[in-house]
Structure 1
Amino acid sequence: MSKLDFKNAVKRNKNLRFGGYATIVTIVVLVVLVVVNVLFQQLKITIDLTPNKLYSVGEKTTEILDGLTQDVNIYGIYSPGTDEQGDYNPQVKRFVTSYVENSSRLHYTQIDPLANPTFTKQFTSDTTDSISNGSIIVQAADSESFKILTLSDFYTVSTNSSTGSSEVTAFSAEEALTSAVQYVTSENNPIIYQLTGHSEAELDSTMTSYLKKSNFDVSSLDLIRPAEGEDAVTLEANNYTIVMINNPQSDLTDNEYEILLDYMEKGGRMLVLVESDLPSLPNFEKLLTRFGISVERGSVWETSARNYYMYPNLVIPNYGDHDITSDMTGANSYLLMLNPAALTVSEDRNRATTITPIMTTSDDALIKGDPESTVLAYEEGDTKGPFTLGLVAEEQKSLDNSVVTAKMVVLGSSSFIERNSGTMLQGNYTMFINVCDYLQDEVSSLYISSKSLVEDTVPVTTRTIITGGAVFVILIPLAVLACGLVVYLRRKHL
């Protein structure tokens, strides 16, 4: 064998050996992938690779599902083929089927309303009512309690400020389904009674929807004249009934005052929202004073740039140390209060009453003595801060051989929960839901944030554009050319 033939043979053997190794590695990788895929299918392991983890659940949901003591049946109402049609039905179905895998107490069944037309009748209040295709029914297995979720419950729809058209912006499936599970498994669901008859502000539809998603029933309360055909409401002090007084414009009657005072003395729960232009209301103010709280007239201005947004009367409050504010951290926790009222604590209050500030201003805040003034600085006649914008009052007492706890939360703004005020941030919703949860003894908020379906955009300034252009168009190409030139010159002189 010539020297050249020997070299070629060695080369062929090396190529054969390396080719054999590559083939073996490829086969091993394929076998591993097949085995892993089979294991994932058998063990029902899935990985959520969506940007916002659309099909995964958070810690709150996990905690709630782990605490279930009864089975819950979830029914998907889909006529043949509709569960895979469009963008929304398949997404909801995928979430629901993934959701039930988080607890052995959850059971999902898909119902064809055409093949089983009588099934949904047990969930309708009237024979003429119907349940729409694509609905999800959640029912406790041990009771008749159920909740019907329509497709709209699984999505958040917002109005585009540029076009005026409505568009789907968030996926609310986890929030809707977890709230429904809690609703059907709870013995007593909390109720909020909105006091009426004094020109109070009403909760708007958006906030009412958020409350209902958090399992609060919302109803009106007229202590003078109940609605036609309805019996007068008998207020029962317990840990799931909340009376809400939202910026009243006329005073309570003596009888109303006595009813509400008796309710609170027996361990009632009350939420009060006021504005800085609150009129003189002796009985209403006497009710607040009983728990050591009074309202200052005149709106609060902030002069600290950290504590207002655009205008000094659009205040960003600081948070106090309380269960209500314990999760109010991060950028999404900010809330805005327009022309808020300052609240004060009476020195001669009942010493059994514990009062805790939950929202305050900076030390540089002011209440302008002259309401027409536009001077963003202290003037003679102004009142200097800091001021309190939110207070919690608690009072424990012995009643009928048991200990009851009365709770009152007073907030110095009513408009901060009005969507039309233009001041609603995520923190506004969170704060309000947290307050309601605290009043009904549920420290852990039921509110679960929706998952955005809108791609996040990063605002870029002109300066950033110029800087980025210089880096990517000039500096980086020059660096590449320089490196290439250095390599070329070195090789040339080898």
Structure 2
Amino acid sequence: MKKTKSNYLRYGGYATLLTLMVIAITIVLNVIVTDLNFKIDTTAEKLYSLSANTEKVTKALKTPVNIYVLEETGKETAGLKEILNKYDKLNNNLTVTYKDPILYPTFANAYKKTSSSTVAAGSVIIENGDTGKYKVLSQTDLYGTTATDTNGVTLSSITIENAITNALGYVSTDVDGTIYYTSGHNELAIPTALKDASERANLTMTELDLLTAEMPSPDNSIVLVFSPHTDFTQEEIKKLTDFLDQGGKAMLFMDANMPELTNYNELLSYYGIAHEQGVVIETDSNYSLTSYPTYLLPAMVSHDITNSLTQSKLPVVVPFTSGIKNLNNARNGVTLTPLLSSSDQSYLKKNINPSTYEFEDGDINGPVILACAVEENNTLDAQNPINTRLFVMADSFFLDDQMVSLDSTGNKEFLTNAFGWLFSIDNSYAIEAKTLENYNLRSISSSQLIIFGGLTMVVIPLVILILGITVWVKRRHL
């Protein structure tokens, strides 16, 4: 068939129309994607994504919550704005508003704790629209920093999600919990990790002098005893016992260097346990760090405190720990659950400064309990049942900075879960900080690289070539 000028024009018109359609579709898709703000977080740490726990907490908000950001117009922090936009889309009860400190210089005055305090520019205010309960988040709450060798600081982590989700939990509940830590018995200094965990659980920490102060109400209170090295008086022990009998909660920590404390041991024995002095040696390499038999990777049992760790396969590292003995004489209604235990190949050395790690006379064969949960349910008054809970840990060093700074351990989560169990707190509020120390984009595996390279360099060009040949052959027969 003879090709005519009209044929060329007709098929040339088809080609032009097809090209215009492809361009139009591309433009429309770009507009749609832009309007939807479609983005992919390719950072390995998911710095700009919200966790499942945050989505759960935010979607569950039943009352209006206002988030006020004190930043100048046009100078908003991009990362903060990106994350807040994600919160804003999860619940219609949540509203994000930017308040320029220059345009609204007195706005933050209503959120000062005292007349002399300030709410600095860059802060974020979370407020319950119904109750007026609020929490102010400063820059130090939103970002983690570390000191440099030149006496400066550098940004080391993003704690925006951690801080905001905790604040949402705080303003949306009527409960204000308090941790009362005892003093006057040569207790070890409370580690930063414990303070941080209490803050993540929206708990306030207050010192308690048992000799002079009245005991707090058992409602919404935890008494913390952190490794005392001198004994309590009998009067102090009675105060603690009475507090617990009324449904109080307690966290009791011990350590391998702690001497025998007669009165304190009476409190422990009241709940069917005793402190095993000494240091646990682990000979099963599956339950300790390589070449470190005193750095234990204990077995965990199923419990509200440990379930999230077993699911994520995060170990708790317990260094240089003493033990807890089950006296097997607990009163009716008292139950003891061993949370962490050494293996049956371990043993407790009574000499904490041994010349050898070998088993010697006087040492105690394992397994050894390292942490336990004690619960007592008193239902004598059916209308007002009493629930007492104790978290007991034979080691205090598992909260050292060296232990909690490792991303591969669950030490911080273990402690946070303990707070949650004691206080019946929803641990959804506990969001870990996202570190920047190893910040990078998500890497592509070698197999993914081969597939991607094959698609872009072989498959797609081959498809285009085949289509081109097909069109060329058809045109030759026109």
Alignment TM-score, normalising by the size of structure 1? 0.81
Q: Report the CA distance between 1:133 and its aligned residue.
A: 1.3
In the TM superposition, what are the counterparts of 1:330-479 in structure 2 within 5 Å? 333-398=314-379, 400=381, 401-419=383-401, 426-442=409-425, 444-455=427-438
What is residue 473 of structure 1 aligned with on the other side? none
* Matched residue type, 1:339: F
The question of 1:205 aligning with 2:192 is answered yes
What is residue 110 of structure 1 aligned with on the other side? 98
Q: Report the CA distance between 1:193 and its aligned residue.
A: 1.0
The count of aligned residue pairs is 438
2:274 aligned to which of 294, 305, 318: 294
* Matched residue type, 2:75: T
Deviations 1:251-277 (A, max 9, x none): 111211111101111111111010123
* Matched residue type, 2:139: L
The question of 1:123 aligning with 2:111 is answered yes
Q: Report the CA distance between 1:287 and its aligned residue.
A: 0.8
Equivalent pairs: percent with the same residue? 26
The question of 1:146 aligning with 2:134 is answered yes
Counterpart Cα distance in 2 of 1:159 and 1:302: 36
Alignment TM-score, normalising by the size of structure 2? 0.83
The question of 1:169 aligning with 2:156 is answered yes
Deviations 1:69-93 (A, max 9, x none): 101001010134432xxxxx22112
Residues 302/14 of structure 1: CA separation in 2 closer, same or farther (3 Å cut): farther
Q: Report the CA distance between 1:158 and its aligned residue.
A: 3.7
Q: SS at 1:132's partner residue?
A: coil
* Matched residue type, 1:349: A
The question of 1:269 aligning with 2:261 is answered no
In the TM superposition, what are the counterparts of 1:309-320 in structure 2 within 5 Å? 309=289, 310-320=291-301
Counterpart Cα distance in 1 of 2:245 and 2:116: 46
Q: SS at 1:321's partner residue?
A: coil
The question of 1:69 aligning with 2:62 is answered yes
* Matched residue type, 1:211: S
Does the 8 A contact of 2:300 with 2:310 survive in 1?
Answer: no
Deviations 1:58-78 (A, max 9, x none): 211111122211010010101
What is residue 492 of structure 1 aligned with on the other side? none
Does the 8 A contact of 1:246 with 1:273 survive in 2?
Answer: yes
Q: Report the CA distance between 1:431 and its aligned residue.
A: 0.6
Deviations 1:425-466 (A, max 9, x none): 641111111101110012535311222334468xxxxxxxxx
Residues 25/353 of structure 1: CA separation in 2 closer, same or farther (3 Å cut): farther
Deviations 1:32-58 (A, max 9, x none): 34334444555x453333313323212
Q: Report the CA distance between 1:28 and its aligned residue.
A: 3.2
Residues 261/369 of structure 1: CA separation in 2 closer, same or farther (3 Å cut): closer
Does the 8 A contact of 1:337 with 1:423 survive in 2?
Answer: no
What is residue 489 of structure 1 aligned with on the other side? none
What is residue 28 of structure 2 aligned with on the other side? 35
* Matched residue type, 1:75: Y
Q: Report the CA distance between 1:362 and its aligned residue.
A: 1.3
Deviations 1:204-234 (A, max 9, x none): 3343134213311111111113xxxxxx343
Counterpart Cα distance in 2 of 1:144 and 1:443: 22
What is residue 258 of structure 2 aligned with on the other side? 278
Q: SS at 2:188's partner residue?
A: coil
Q: SS at 2:39's partner residue?
A: coil
Deviations 1:369-403 (A, max 9, x none): 55443544434443221111011111101365311
The answer for unaligned runs of 5 or more in structure 1 is: 84-88, 226-231, 458-467, 469-494
Counterpart Cα distance in 2 of 1:271 and 1:290: 15
What is residue 304 of structure 1 aligned with on the other side? 284
What is residue 476 of structure 2 aligned with on the other side? none
Q: SS at 1:313's partner residue?
A: strand
Highest RCO, 1 vs 2 (Cα 8 Å, sep ≥ 6): 2
Counterpart Cα distance in 1 of 2:371 and 2:15: 70
* Matched residue type, 1:247: S
* Matched residue type, 1:209: D
Residues 280/39 of structure 1: CA separation in 2 closer, same or farther (3 Å cut): same
Q: Report the CA distance between 1:334 and its aligned residue.
A: 2.1
Residues 13/288 of structure 1: CA separation in 2 closer, same or farther (3 Å cut): farther
Out of 32-41 and 363-372, give the one that drifted further.
32-41
Residues 371/61 of structure 1: CA separation in 2 closer, same or farther (3 Å cut): closer
